[in-house]
Each structure stands twice: as C-alpha cells, then as structure tokens.
Chains A and B, each alone.
Chain A
Amino acid sequence: MDFFRQLFNPGSGSPLVDESFAEVSGMLQQSAKMLDHSLEVLLENQPVSVDLDELDDLVDEAERRVRRTILQHLAVNPKQDLVASLILVSMVQDAERIGDFARGLVELVKMARSSRSGPYAEELREAAARLRPLFAMTERAFRQGDPAEARKVIKAHRALRADLKQYRNRVAASDLTADMAVVYSGAAQILRRVGAHLSNICSTVVQPYDRIRHGDEDL
C-alpha cells in the first residue's frame, strides 16, 4: 500500500492532520487573546470583562477535537504522517496549558490588595511585550515548518526565562508587601511558563522526535 501511496499521492498529507494543525493555530490565537485580557487586568488594573472560563473551555474542547481527529487519521492511515500525528498530540498539550495559565493570571490578581504600578509592574509589562510576539512566530514556525523562526522563539524564551528568574530574585529581596510580592512573582512565573510552552511547540520543528521539549541547549 505504501508503494501505491507514494506513487500516486506524492507530497500529499492527511487532511485530518492538516485540520489538526489549523486547530492548534486556533488554540494559540485564542490563548493569546486570553493572555492579552489577563495582562490588562493585571498590569493596567482593568476589570475582568471577558468570561475566561468559557474561553478556556473552548480551548479544552479544541484539544479533545485534535486528539479524536488524530486517532481517526491513524486508524485509517497509521503510516502516513505518523510523526506529525504524535507531535500534534504533544503540541496540543502545550497549547492547552497556555490557556490555563492565562486564566491563572486573573486568579492571581485577586490576591492583590492594591493596584499594580511602579517599576516592578513596568518590568512585567516589558516582559509581556517580549513574550507577546512569540505567539505569532510560534504559529508561523510550526505551520510552515520553519526551523529559523522556531530557533528565534526558543532563543527569545531562553533570554526571557533568565531575565524573569532575576526579576523574581529581586522581588524576593525587595520591600514589597507580601501580597504584591506574591502577585508579581507569580505573574513572572506564569509568563515564564507560557514562554516555555511556546518554546516546546517550536522544539517540535527543530528537534528529533525523542528530544522534543528537551535539549534546547544545543540550539
């Protein structure tokens, strides 16, 4: 069967795998919107005006759809796009977690007894501004299979991760009130985790299958 498939359908992938990649794109876009709103609530002191639970449910349902779709594809064509299928199952977990973290930011804000302003808030704003473009870059990287774009995301995350680690150390050593220290430190951790998940998605483009999510030091 493989002989005929390669002979008669060269370069044609599975429609269900293509659909799943599009679904993951949609999840990233949805999670990015959730993150934008959560950051407005956190850093601009805006009220919550979007039902983030409902949006997160949509992201979760998309994850379930991708899993079902990939299984359907593998049931019909187990050898076609096998690695892409396995990668999608891994990737969709990262995309779903980003939505959870975006919702987690709003939960964090509830602990704050005062508005967020000053140098620590400004630093978080800058970190968020460095993180935000990585969403579109990640989507381009995995949709187009672009290793150069993927490496940019991984390197950007690595730099952001180091800076956020130092930020948290400074927050810990500061004279901020306990609630604000928790909020700022927690938010930094969330931004770091979001970057990590975007980096994981990009690692599927540049790493061998068994080293997805690991070994980005070589890049």
Chain B
Amino acid sequence: MASVLHGVFRLLALAVVLLGFFLGLDLLGQAFNLFGKGFAAMLVERTANPFVGLFVGILGTTLVQSSSTTTSLTVALVAAGALTVEGAIPIIMGANIGTSVTNSLVSLGHVTRRGEFERAFAGATIHDLFNILSVAILLPIELLTGVLSRSSVFVAERIADVGGLSLLDPVKAVVRPISLWVVDLLGRSPALTLILALVLLFAALKLLVDLLKALMSGRAERILHQTMFRSPVAAVTAGLLMTVMVQSSSITTSVMIPLVAAGIVTLEQAFPFTIGANLGTTITALVAALSTGNFAAVTVACSHLLFNLAGTLLIFVPPPIRRIPLACARALGRLTVRNRLYAVAYVVLVFFVVPAILIFVSGMLSD
C-alpha cells in the first residue's frame, strides 16, 4: 500500500512540475503576443546576425548552465514569432557549446592533484572541442547552403504528417486556460508575464532535473555501470539514456569527469558517452516544441537533433577526424600541468569573455 501511495505521489509531483514547464512556455508565447509585432520584429532583427545568435546561445547557456533552458526558450520564441528558424539555429548551436562549461567547472574540483587534473580537464574539454568543431564545420555550411534548416523542415513535415504537431494538444488544452487566467491576473502586462514565464521555466526545469535525478539515480548508475565500457555504441547509448532520464546533459557529462580523472575511463571511452549526452538533450527542445504545436518551433527542435547527429557523423565516426578533438583535449590537459591557471583562463575566455566581446562587436558591425 505504501509503495502504491509513493508511486502516486511521485507521478503527481512529476505532473505538477511538467505542468509548470508547459505553463512557462505558454506564458512566454503570451508575453510576446502582448508585446506586439514591433517587439518581435526588433528581436528578429537583432538576431538576424548568426554570429550574434551563436554567441548569445553560448553566453546565455553558460550563465544558466542549462542548454535545455536555452533551447526551450528559443523554441518558445520561435513559436511566438519573435525569432525566425534561421535566427534560432545559431542560438541552438551556441547552446550546445555553452552547456559544456559545467563539466569544465567540475574538472576544476580536481585542481589540487596535477595528474588527476590533467585527465579531468582533458575529459571536460573533449566535450567543448567536439561542440566547437561541430559549429566550426556546420555553421558555415548552414549559412552557405541552408542544408540544416531545409533538412529540419523535411523532418518537421514528416512529424506533422503523422499528426505530431497535435500530439501534445491535450496538454495545451489544460495549460492554455490557466495561462490566459494568469495573464488576466497580471493585468495583461507583457513585462510581468514575461518575468513570470521565465521564472516558471527556469524553476520548472531545475525542479524537473532534480526530481528525475532523485527518481532515476539508481537506474542511471546501472546504465553507466553495465554499458559504459562495452563499446563506443554502448557508451553513446548510455550517455543518451542517462540524459533523457535526468533531462540534463550537464549532469550526465559531469558524471564522467571524476571517472576520467581517476583513470578508470579513458578519453576514448568518455568521448562517445559525451556525444550520447548531446543527442539525449535534444529531447527537451522537441517536447517543448511539440507542446506549442507550432511548425516553426518543431523545425528548430529538429535542427538541434540534426545538428548533433551531423556533428557525430562528421567528427566522431571517421577515425582521423575523431583524433583531432582527442589530441586537442590532451594538449589542453598537458597545458594545465605547466600552470593550472591556464584552465581557469580557458573557461573564462571561451565561455564568457570571447562570446561577450564578439556579441558586442557583431552588434556594432550590424548597426
């Protein structure tokens, strides 16, 4: 009886948190409707420069340490018409880079022991380097050919064909009346609605991650233990499953750092696990997009998945290319043996200073 009650309680808690997440997304859309077309047009114009979008994605995700938050926000903005698909894709790419700051920070926890820190830092930066390399290859290709956005449209159309856009209509049916009631309660103030939407979104995602981690930690351990060392495919699967279960690639990839630091997982074993985590995190944006029922939003979510898949195929699958981020990660690790401050400088420069400066410069050049 106690376990049945526990199960019911768990489901209720999950439902409440998910309701909060979908409500936050809907309120965001309502806020932008209230701001009006002029505000949306201004945002679209500001993010028309893909490099601004990229660096906003990096910096924003670095600050909140959650790519799910950034990608969910981006999807909601696209659904509200405040962002175009072309403007959103670089933000999504930037979110991929920004999320890898967490495991770089986790690696700093090993800073007192040089050998351990060298391995930990290499383990962290393999994620950064894969994401940076993916963007370096795929962003120019996308800007020149639009292949990613066109492929995303194709996939989104297939999802729409099978009724995917209305998959979460029952959720919308529950959330929309609450959302409209809240907007009225706030006196239809766009600013207050936006603030509440953002707070709700951040809080719901944070609680969702904490809740799922508490519920799934035993299973996550088993998956890691049973699949991690078998093969690269098993490692990708482990990373993907763990990330879907806890809804956070940051948590999943951070788990790897102490194992790499201790020397029981090699960089070659950690790399596919990291890629699996990258793939697993695309689920959140997809769920957020489906909840809006908006074709453009679903397209952006599909672009997140396709971008990570393309990166995997281009960088991880061919052995000569795979060796590049591995070698660079090891080189960065060796640098920290000479002076551990290099690691701190790397994190500050790559995730904060450079994106901030380039946003400013790109913005000025656009003006």
Contacts and interface: CB of A to CB of B under 8 A. Distances in A.
Interface string B240-275: 000000000000000111110010100000000000
Nearest to A67: B264
B123 to A, nearest CB: 11
A69 B214 CA distance: 19
Given A9-B215, A15-B218, A71-B258, A76 B224 contact: yes
Nearest to B257: A75
B10 interface: yes
B221 A68 contact: no
Interface residues on A, range: 20 to 34
Contacts of A12: 218
B37 interface: no
B217 interface: yes
Given A72-B259, A75-B259, A8 B221 contact: no
Given A8-B215, A71-B264, A75-B255, A16 B221 contact: yes
A205 to B, nearest CB: 24
B258 to A, nearest CB: 5
Contacts of B259: 71-72, 75
20 contacts: A1-B213, A4-B210, A5-B217, A7-B9, A8-B211, A8-B214, A8-B215, A9-B217, A9-B218, A12-B218, A14-B218, A14-B221, A15-B218, A69-B225, A71-B262, A72-B224, A75-B257, A76-B221, A77-B217, A80-B217
Interface string B50-66: 00000000000000000
B302 interface: no
Interface string B122-160: 000000000000000000000000000000000000000
Contacts of B215: 4, 8-9
Given A71-B258, A71-B262, A76-B255, A9 B214 contact: yes
A73 interface: yes
A73 B220 CA distance: 9
A8 B218 contact: no
A76 B215 CA distance: 13
A73 B264 contact: no
A74 interface: yes
A46 to B, nearest CB: 40
A171 to B, nearest CB: 45
B6 interface: yes
Contacts of A76: 217, 220-221, 224, 255
A75 B218 contact: no
B222 interface: yes
Contacts of A67: 264
A72 B261 CA distance: 12
A16 B225 contact: yes
A77 B215 CA distance: 12
A27 to B, nearest CB: 18
B206 to A, nearest CB: 10
A1 B210 contact: yes
B222 A16 contact: yes
A71 B255 CA distance: 10
Nearest to A73: B221
A80 B218 CA distance: 10
A15 B226 CA distance: 12
Contact of A8 (B9, B257, B262): B9
Nearest to A74: B258
Contact of A68 (B6, B213, B257, B264): B264
A1 B258 CA distance: 20
B102 to A, nearest CB: 14
Interface in A6-21: 7-9, 12, 14-16, 19
Contacts of B222: 15-16
Nearest to B229: A68
B214 A1 contact: yes
A215 B269 CA distance: 43
B294 to A, nearest CB: 32
Nearest to A5: B214
Interface in B1-30: 6, 9-10, 13
A15 B210 contact: no
Given A4-B213, A5-B214, A7-B214, 17 more contacts: A1-B210, A1-B214, A4-B13, A4-B214, A4-B215, A5-B217, A8-B215, A9-B214, A19-B225, A68-B264, A71-B259, A72-B225, A75-B255, A75-B257, A76-B217, A76-B220, A76-B255
A19 B220 CA distance: 15
B6 A8 contact: yes
Contacts of B221: 14-16, 72-73, 76-77
Interface string A164-187: 000000000000000000000000
Nearest to A64: B264
Contacts of B228: 72
Contacts of A74: 258
B280 to A, nearest CB: 15
A4 B217 CA distance: 11
Contacts of A75: 224, 255-259
Contacts of B213: 1, 4-5
4 cross-chain pairs, A with B, having the tightest CB-CB distances, nearest first? A4-B214, A5-B214, A75-B258, A1-B210
Given A75-B256, A75-B259, A8 B10 contact: yes
Chain A CB within 10 Å, residue with most, of B13, B225, B256, B258:
B225
